[in-house]
């Protein structure tokens, strides 16, 4: 069902448009998608605290209402469905007239979902949804906002993952989408170089967000529809995978760690093209791909599906 796009009127935004000798003051503006919880919500809070005007993209009115109740000056909730082209273009039309000529503008493509489970058992509709939200949506968002990014000293942030460099069993859809973002970020960075638009890829490792619980629910929904004789083939491995996700959820870093890296990337004069977040992202993400496949697969199999 398509979602409409609208700005929720809040008074804090009106105070961010101060004047100096009758002329509007330049301000830093960012649009962040997927801000109902987790990393996206922390990015909004931090950027708003640093003086940004932040358009916080959410899919549901209830999440927009929560943002209003938090009363963070500079936060503007924005109803946005990133998989709907009409919704994206409505967002462009809403934000464009609110920018002054000297304002800076950043697009933080954070929205994402996880689809998991044994590849043999996955529904193709779920696989397509994974790529629609995690790959095609940030591409469509970036395409639509490029005129604003060119005109306002823009920066593009893409939310990648450690899984964009190294994949585990049962997360192939999610890892595949994040691998795709790695290539997209590299190509886009070179294509936009003539206009000075920086493209930055975040590569978080294990972060304590609702994503792990969501992953478990999606895997459960997948296996509920599977014939028992096929499910029996993977039952023990799935139990191991569930224990693994529980461990990740209990030991992950706070989402604010990612938010701080995003804020740094937006403010740095010469930001890096990639920002690993967490020791696991630095170690496994950098060293893992250098290990021969046969050895790496054996290690990851034992770590994730130990019996």
Q: What residues are annotated to the active site?
A: 174
Contact between residue 265 and residue 276 where contact means Cβ atoms under 8 Å apart: no
Kindly report the number of other CB atoms within 10 A of residue 130's CB atom: 22
Q: At what angle do helices 85-95 and 137-151 cross, to 10 degrees?
A: 20
Contact between residue 142 and residue 88 where contact means Cβ atoms under 8 Å apart: no
Rounded distance between C-alpha atoms, residue 39 and residue 208, angstroms: 9
> Dihedral (C-alpha) 61, 200, 156, 277: value to the nearest 10 degrees?
20
Measure CA 109 to chain center.
Answer: 5
Rounded distance between C-alpha atoms, residue 193 and residue 97, angstroms: 26
Rounded distance between C-alpha atoms, residue 98 and residue 87, angstroms: 18
- Helix H or strand E segment including 190: helix 172-191
Rounded distance between C-alpha atoms, residue 245 and residue 82, angstroms: 27
Rounded distance between C-alpha atoms, residue 134 and residue 136, angstroms: 6
Measure CA 156 to chain center.
Answer: 12
The pair of three-digit structure tokens given for residue 97, joined into one six-digit string: 């007239």
Going by C-alpha positions, the residue among 95, 84, 101 that lies closest to residue 140 is 84
The pair of three-digit structure tokens given for residue 43, joined into one six-digit string: 């990015």
The pair of three-digit structure tokens given for residue 179, joined into one six-digit string: 């691998």
Q: How far apart are the first and last CA of the chain?
A: 42
Kindly report the number of other CB atoms within 10 A of residue 38's CB atom: 20
């Amino acid at each position: 069902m398509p979602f409409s796009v609208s700005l929720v009127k809040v008074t804090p935004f009106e105070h961010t448009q101060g004047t100096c000798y009758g002329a509007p003051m330049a301000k830093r503006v960012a649009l962040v998608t997927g801000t109902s919880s987790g990393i996206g919500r922390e990015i909004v809070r931090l950027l708003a605290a640093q003086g940004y005007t932040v358009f916080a993209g959410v899919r549901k009115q209830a999440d927009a209402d929560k943002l209003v109740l938090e009363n963070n000056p500079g936060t503007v909730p924005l109803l946005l469905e990133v998989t709907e082209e009409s919704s994206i273009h409505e967002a462009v039309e809403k934000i464009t007239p609110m920018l002054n000529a000297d304002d800076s503008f950043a697009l933080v493509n954070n929205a994402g979902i996880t689809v998991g489970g044994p590849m043999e058992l996955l529904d193709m509709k779920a696989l397509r949804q994974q790529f629609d939200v995690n790959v095609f949506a940030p591409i469509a968002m970036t395409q639509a906002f490029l005129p604003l990014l060119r005109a306002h000293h823009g920066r593009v942030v893409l939310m990648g993952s450690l899984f964009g460099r190294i994949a585990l069993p049962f997360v192939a859809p999610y890892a595949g989408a994040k691998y795709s973002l790695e290539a997209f970020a590299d190509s886009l960075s070179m294509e936009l170089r003539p206009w000075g638009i920086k493209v930055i890829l975040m590569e978080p490792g294990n972060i304590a967000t609702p994503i792990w619980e969501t992953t478990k629910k999606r895997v459960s929904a997948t296996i509920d529809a599977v014939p028992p004789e096929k499910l029996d083939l993977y039952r023990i491995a799935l139990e191991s995978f569930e224990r693994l996700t529980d461990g990740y959820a209990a030991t992950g870093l706070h989402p604010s760690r990612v938010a701080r890296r995003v804020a740094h990337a937006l403010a740095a004069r010469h930001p890096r093209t990639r920002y690993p977040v967490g020791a696991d992202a630095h170690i496994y993400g950098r060293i893992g791909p250098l290990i021969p496949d046969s050895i790496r697969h054996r290690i990851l199999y034992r770590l994730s599906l130990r019996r």
